[in-house]
Amino acid sequence: MPFGLCNAPATFQRLMVSVLRGLQFETCLVYLDDIIVLGKSFEEMIANLSQVFDRLQQAGLKLKAKKCNLFASEVEYLGHVVSEDGIATSGDKTKVIKNWPVPCNVTEVRSFLGLCSYYRRFVPNFASLASPLHKLTKMGTRFDWTQACQEAFLTLKEALTSAPILANPNFAYPFILDTDASDQSIGAVLSQNIDGTERVCAFASRTLSKSERRYCVTRKELLAVVHFVKHFRHYLYGRKFLIRTDHSSLRWLMQFKNPENQLARWLEILSEFDFEIQHRPGRQHCNADALSRVPCRQCGYITEWDKDDVDPLANKVYSASSHSSNSLRDMQAEDKDLIKVRGWLNSKVRPDSKVVQSESYYLKSLYSQFDRLCQLDGILYRKWEDFEANMTKYQALVPLSKRRVVLRYCHDEKTAGHLGIKKTLEKVRQGYYWPKMQSDVRLYVNGCEFCTKRKGENKTKRAPMKLVQTGYPMERIAIDILGELQLTESGNKYILVISDYFKKWTESFPMPNMEARTVAKTLVEQVVTRFGVPAAIHSDQGSQFESNLFQEMCMLLRINKTHTTPYHPQSDGMVERFNRTLTAMLSAFVNENHTDWDEQLQYVMMAYRSSEHETTGLTPNFLMLGREICTPLDVMFEMPSSVKAIPQNKWCWILQERMENAHSHVRLHTAQSMQRQKHYYDRKLHWEKYSSGDKVCVFFPRVQQGKSPKFTSYWKGPFTVKQKMSDINYVVDCGKKGMDQVIHVDRMRPLRSQTLIGESLEEDSLDLHTNAADQTIEKSVDSGNDDNYSNDVTEHTDKEQHVSSRPFRTKRPPQWLKDYETGN
């Protein structure tokens, strides 16, 4: 076959393999017309050369003497320089890379990446370095050569022209695999410790896919181990090697209990290898750590939860320009109302009141304070008598279009500190004035997103109590897990608590773990087999109760499974209150090491079920068994004669009568008790009502590891109310990945608008990151709409608020009497 055809390389390679069959990988290596003959000594090299020459001669193939390099200790082969020290990049190839021009299109980017990828084993962190260039090659991506692409291009050229020499693997020594993972990529280093010196054999790295970026830290680290063990399989398989990682949890990698799905598949892959895992702190793990820590400069990936966590560090960015007297003078000179005020002061004559009748309220308010207005150095001021300080202060008049700038500097800046309404108002009063300033400060501070999130949980907020009615035993039971407790000699660490809503009969069972399988098995064997199948089970949102196994069990038994809203244990108050009682009872009888609580558990349960319950007015024993049980005290003083005297033939009838009377008593007594509890609970009601589309913040009481609780904002958002389930439960898009979640109203806080009086919603949404001196308002307050300040009623929030014509005084409608209206 002639050269030049597409099948010529494959045909020629097949010929060379056939000619040198039996000699490859021991005597020589062949790739097309490049043959490299191996030999550890001069004599061995002569013998191997003779065998290769004989095969070539028999096949009728010839060698060109000028292209032959014999008895060399260093040779260039397939773009690599191979020597006794190891493998390095070819100088000719790296020279081409060094002189490569900046790519101008996608085709040139692919050509450059193809050449660089051939040497990626020599470049630490190749995946992250080349990530900006790889993104340019994606289908549908616009070719935009950014600064990040230029930096990646130069960094790769520098890394390849100064690539290190990789040591030849020596299979007499064990291999060391260092792995690490970051949010963007995973990396590994394969090395060997030879004669006390750790020499690198290969680098490897790759970027994470979109789904892999969502893995937790442990799963990412495990992915790095699995991927690079498979990547270096030809070195590691059949040999014991060491895996070093900076994630301590992986030390118990092969001891995971009951692995499922992806984790089980990964552990099955690793089970083929013989390795030992060693934890190495991050400061010592820099070789692999560096392969994954350089973030992609173009990606900018950050989760919604992380966005909230960085807010305290950089809440908002503003320009550093300050309001000098010149800029204030210019702002006043551009406002048409203040131009008229300046004319009044220059004429030193107060105009007739008829002149301002058709003007805006802003101008009317300044007209009513004409005697307090003055002009100093070309700037308009209002004199204000501060009686507390016993001095006169001068307040600069602020145009309506610049109110937001002043409020921002007096509330949002570091020098303002996001203080409350009173302190912000005092700060503004010290140097500035405009009509209805107090109302604007209140609106601005109440609508501040950072302040809404940073405030702590409102302890006084309380929605009305919702009563749960049950009509017969085992209609509805509550289930919860108490623990983790001290490990007992029997291996138990948790208590499964189950309580009947109707009879208040409660069971508690010790468990070694709280896995879904253990919980379901205990529930069926200890409750269902003894008392029957309940109609409904209520629990919190623990993973064991929401697991597929538990849900499948409920579906098979036709049990209606309900759960509480997140972070609201009051919805399961009966069993939560019992947990506190059970803990107090056990603490009185456990040993000093707290390791025998499971032995004492059933004794204290006997005591609890023998005691009268406040809600029912009877003991759980009587309601469940129809009689009181015989206690040690009864044995000591003998059972009452009235019990012994009941004839056997009448016992069933008497028992039935007792149970009927007891159930009637429970229904009446429980209803009265619940109404009494609701009466006391609802005395201090205070909760917001929301509609679909409202913006809210949601309370998540958790602190990320390594962060201070004092500086953590537990309110996340903003989120959107999607649906109203009831007066106290709403569907909000605050779940992971924006999923909908049912949230109790006590965990919600309204995110109010910062729209000032007279502003439209469009003006409120203007970008506040622009230069304060250049900030303009698209629609003037007074242009074409004088009614904004001439009328007494102005809509500026989601709820209607009536403002009287007098400055600094407002009228608010009563919150609980919304059917009423306030007059002028």
pLDDT per position as a tens digit, 25-81: 888 888 888 888 888 888 888 999 999 999 999 888 888 888 888 888 777 777 677
- Residue 368 covered by a domain: yes
User: Domain containing 60: what range?
Assistant: 8-72
Cβ atoms 244, 285 nearer than 8 A: yes
In a domain, 25, yes or no: yes
565: in domain: yes
Per the model's pLDDT, the better-predicted residue between 764 and 627 turns out to be 627
Q: Confirm whether 185 is domain-assigned.
A: yes
| Res 114 pLDDT > 70 | yes
CATH code for the domain of 336 = 1.10.340.70
Burial class (CB in 10 A: 0-12, 13-18, 19+), 619: buried
**pLDDT tens digits, 376-433:** 888 888 888 776 666 778 888 888 888 888 888 888 887 777 878 888 888 888 888 8
17-29 average pLDDT score? 86
Segment 232-244 shows an average pLDDT of 88
What is the rounded distance in angstroms from the CA atom of residue 501 to the CA atom of residue 578? 12
- What is the structure's pLDDT at 317? 41
Closest to 244 measured CA to CA, from 347, 161, 175: 175
Asked if the model's pLDDT at residue 790 lies above 50, the reply is no
Instruction: State the pLDDT at residue 459.
Output: 53
> How many CA atoms within 13 Å lie on the side-chain side of 436?
30
Highest mean pLDDT among 196-205, 472-481, 564-573: 472-481
Tokens encoding 562: 């309900």
| Whether 294 and 356 share a structural domain | no
Tell me the pLDDT band of 494, cut-offs 50, 70 and 90: very high
The more confident residue out of 470 and 629 is 629
* Together in a domain, 44 and 134: no
The pLDDT value recorded for residue 214 is: 83
Helix (H, G, I), strand (E, B) or coil at 274: strand
Which stretches within 212-257 are classed as H helix? 217-231, 233-236
Of the chain, the percentage scoring pLDDT greater than 70 comes to: 72
Say which residues have a Cβ less than 8 Å from residue 646's Cβ, sequence separation at least 6.
654
Task: Give the integer Cα–Cα distance in Å for 138 and 366.
Answer: 62
Residue 303 pLDDT > 90: no
Q: What is the CATH number of the domain that holds 118?
A: 3.30.70.270
Nearest to 713 by CA among 424, 310, 410, 301: 310
Same structural domain, 609 and 481? yes
Residue recorded with tokens 């679909």:
692
Q: Verify that 480 and 602 share a domain, yes or no.
A: yes
Q: Same domain, yes or no, for 481 and 602?
A: yes
Kindly calculate the radius of gyration of the chain based on its CA atoms and give it in whole angstroms. Answer: 40
Domain boundary among 266, 301, 336: 301
In the block, residue with structure tokens 């005691």 = 611
| Domain end call among 268, 301, 334 | 301
pLDDT at site 298: 32
As given in the structure block, the two tokens for residue 5 are: 């055809």
SS3 state of residue 243: strand
Alpha-carbon distance 725 to 346, whole Å? 63
E strands within 450-517? 476-482, 494-500, 506-511
Which contiguous run of DSSP H or E holds residue 621?
A: helix 620-625
- The pLDDT-based confidence of 687 (bands split at 50, 70, 90) is low
Q: Tell me, what's the pLDDT at 677? A: 63
Task: Decide: helix, strand or coil at residue 549.
Answer: helix
Q: Judge whether residue 508 has pLDDT over 50.
A: yes
Is the pLDDT score of 294 beyond 90?
Answer: no
pTM: 0.38
Q: How many residues does the chain have?
A: 824
Residue 536 in contact with residue 475, Cβ under 8 Å?
yes
> Is there a single domain that holds both residue 376 and residue 488?
no
Look up tokens 């001068």; give the residue.
394
Q: Are residues 273 and 351 in the same domain?
A: no
- In whole angstroms, give the CA distance from residue 299 to residue 302: 9
Asked whether residue 156 falls in the same domain as residue 278, the answer is no
Least confident among 328-332, 437-441, 736-740: 736-740
Nearest CA to 151 among 286, 301, 294? 294
pLDDT for 525 equals 92
DSSP 781: S
φ, ψ at 91 (rounded to 5°): -65, -35
Cα(419)–Cα(702) distance, integer angstroms: 24
Q: Any idea what DSSP says for residue 173?
A: S
The closest alpha carbon to 292, from 388, 224, 229, 381, belongs to 224
The H-or-E segment that residue 16 falls in is helix 8-19
Q: pLDDT category, 522, cuts 50, 70, 90?
A: very high
Q: Is residue 732 part of a domain?
A: no
DSSP class of residue 120 equals: G
148-162, 242-256, 415-429, 517-531: which is most confident: 517-531
* Most confident of the ranges 43-52, 101-110, 145-154, 599-608: 43-52
**Maximum alpha-carbon separation in the chain:** 122
The answer to whether residue 646 scores a pLDDT higher than 60 is no
> Got the DSSP string for 335-350?
-HHHHHHHHHHHHT-P
Please indicate, yes or no, whether residues 284 and 333 belong to a single structural domain of this protein. Answer: no
CATH number at residue 599: 3.30.420.10
- Residue type (1 letter), 511: M
Each residue's pLDDT tens digit, 561-619:
888 777 666 666 788 888 888 888 888 888 888 888 998 898 888 888 888 777 777 78
The pLDDT confidence band at residue 817, using thresholds 50, 70 and 90, is very low
Tell me: do 352 and 250 sit in the same domain. Answer: no
DSSP class of 311: T
> What confidence category does residue 676 fall into, taking pLDDT thresholds of 50, 70 and 90?
low
- Is 13 within a domain? yes
Whether pLDDT at 631 is above 60: yes
Phi, psi (degrees; rounded to nearest 5) at 639: -70, 145
pLDDT in tens, 317-337: 443 344 455 577 888 888 888
Residue 636 in domain: no
Same domain membership, residue 125 and residue 67 = no
Looking at the DSSP bridge assignments, the partners of residue 433 are: 397
For residue 124, being part of any structural domain is answered with yes
Region 422-451: what's the mean pLDDT? Answer: 85
Q: Tell me, what's the pLDDT at 519?
A: 92
End-to-end C-alpha distance for the chain, whole angstroms: 103
When pLDDT is cut at 50, 70 and 90, the band that residue 742 belongs to is confident
Of 168, 62, 68, 150, residue with least CA distance to 103: 150
Task: Kindly give, in sequence order, each residue whose CB lies less than 8 Å from that of residue 246, ignoring residues fewer than 6 positions away.
Answer: 180, 279, 280, 281, 282, 285, 288, 289
Total domains in the chain come to 5
pLDDT of residue 793: 30
Please check whether residues 602 and 498 belong to one and the same domain. Answer: yes
Alpha helices in 682-795 (DSSP H): 761-764, 787-790
Q: What is the mean pLDDT of the chain?
A: 75
Q: Which of 411, 383, 378 is nearest to 395 (CA)?
A: 383
**Cα dist from 520 to 48, 527, 537, 552, 574, whole Å:** 71, 10, 12, 10, 21
Q: List the beta bridge partners of residue 509.
A: 496
